[in-house]
Structure 1
Amino acid sequence: MNLNVLNKWTDKSFDGLLECLREILPEGNQCPGNYYQTSKHLCEVGLGYEKIGVCQYDCALFYGENANAVSCPVCKSSRYVRNQIPHKRLRWFPIKARLKRMFSSKHTSKDMRWHKEVRKNEAGILRHPADGDAWKHFDNVYPDFAADSRSVRMGLASDGFNPFSNMTSTYSLWPVILIPYNMPPWASPNGTNYLMSLLIPGPKSPRKDYDVFLMPLIEELKELGPLYDKMMELRGQHPPEELSDKEIMECVLGRDSVYLRGWGRSPSVTTSTSHRENIVGNQPTYEELLERLNDTTSCLNATNEQLSVVVDILRHNNLMAPPPPPPTDQASDENLRESPSISVRESQDDS
């Protein structure tokens, strides 16, 4: 999907690529068949987005208790232009699943703990936001939050841009991006670690109504607070020897949320418990797949060495023809000189 966006592929060309991959892979593979199925897989792992209706005057969102409202609760204007088509739509990208995926990889999870476990704390030197007075003041106010190196700290940034690449157009979109500050300075500014949270529609800047569009993000961040408190409570009651971090996350978030390792498909919420356990139990982890790959590589290297020994023995006993000698530079030059004359004769005979 990333290559599809970067290279501006059409849906037809993307479907053709998936068909080639399905033919190359063994039978019974789980490769999606078209663009629509691929988009569904992204939504299942938490990389989708939700559309929220917006009042034409940016008074309120049709979200939460007003999700099924037909008119704006503030100015009483109609929600739709015609035929159930809203005036505006806000794209909301939930961040909880993407934060979980950051801690599911051993590389990004190490970077998310860098600010406390690896960073050098030297007085008078400002290398990272954690060296600033605001960070230290927050740690003093909330010591329990600061004690855990996995506590996520993010910055919010937003700016308008013209999506049509035409400076004469007055239409602008306003993305809201979250930047994780836990990571080291060389990883935090990397665009791959940014979290797109909202895409505010135009045609103009939201200005004083910016807080209206931030409502889904604020509600989602509020949900993370009680979950963190519950996890800390379980950690205080059960030491790591009795209950691991993964088991605590399973108790708080559910097994479907913790199942983020590997390339396998995440079990659906509607799947029965026994079937879900079978899927998760049969799914190899990243370490198991890497170990299998190393074992296969070592076996192939050993087989190549044995074959080379057998070939040397056969050639030593004149049971196998020796390898052909490599062409010399003189022979290659003669072939190059002869090739034009041959082509000329053939062309004369044809004429």
Structure 2
Amino acid sequence: MFALTISETPLLSANFDTESSAMVLSPSHSWRLKYVSLGVLVLQTTSLVLTMRYSRTLKEDGPRYLASSAVVAAEVLKVLACTLFVFKESNFNVQAMNQLLKEEIVNKPMETMKLAIPAGIYTLQNNLLYVALSNLDGATYQVTYQLKILTTALFSVSMLGKRLGIYQWLSLLFLMAGVTLVQWPTESEGTEEQKILTAGSQFVGLMSVLMACVSSGFAGVYFEKILKETKQSVWVRNIQLGLFSFVFGFVGMIMYDGQRVRQSGMFQGYNTITCTVVVLQALGGLVIAVVIKYADNILKGFATSLSIIVSALISYFLLDDFNPTGVFFLGTMLVMAATILYSYPHKSASVGTIKIENCPT
């Protein structure tokens, strides 16, 4: 059952896509910080995808955990984490933190309400990701979800007036070709009924990913626009985003899973894997913020590509839910090449790139 309630992800929730809001790294930052952020991004992205996939396909005796409940729990953790960062920025002064939050959130209702739009979209997006991972293997999902680069580019051009160079548009063509190959049908064994059911499940998963890509691109660019127009702290903005996401998620949970919540409770079906998914999802926004602060476009491109490879290898060797073909590997290589080419910084003034050079923090 589809529940209208989820982050990245997305992851998101309180996170915003690195493709649509990257910050140029200053030369003063060390290579160590760059590679640490690279490793953290690869680890977080791969872990979230595979753990979420495993949690949605694990056979259990009792009821399966509610995706809507996991979304609400993740939003609460995100708000708490961002509040701790604001507390740190306030020199661990509770009174100063309360004053800051009151001034930026309560006393500026119009600024706060701007976050309702991306919060609602992120909530929808994260539910779509749960549906996608319930119907697709982790590697196929990971590669197909890279279409968010295309949607981010199109929304950036239309909403922010960004200009893309020939390399960026060429990379988008590579991306489309790669995703097409990844989704190319293969001959499978089994009865005709099994084939129909498998095809139907893959179609649902594919449509969910495509809808998540569109919502991810729009919400990311919209959030970028908000960040560029104000000087509020990123953590304050994430608190505003998380509060709206929590409200939307909670309402959605009551609307679509209210009866099950009343019967077995909000945390039915929770186990160690479920809690891990919630924590990884909640930390997603914080990881993205660290990457934006310390990493550059090239490293983000490699991180995305590496996460695809790692997801495919783990899906094949450990989860045993993915049988790669030569066509899949060719499509994956095209997607990785497109990701790197799209993120490659070009010095020519005639070539535009999608990034924020003076994003307020």
TM-score range, shorter chain: under 0.3
TM-score of the pair, normalised by structure 1: 0.24
| Structure ID, larger Rg | 1
Point out which structure has higher relative CO (alpha carbons under 8 A, 6+ apart).
Answer: 2
- Structure with the higher strand share, 1 or 2: 1
TM-score of the pair, normalised by structure 2: 0.24
- Structure with the higher helix share, 1 or 2: 2
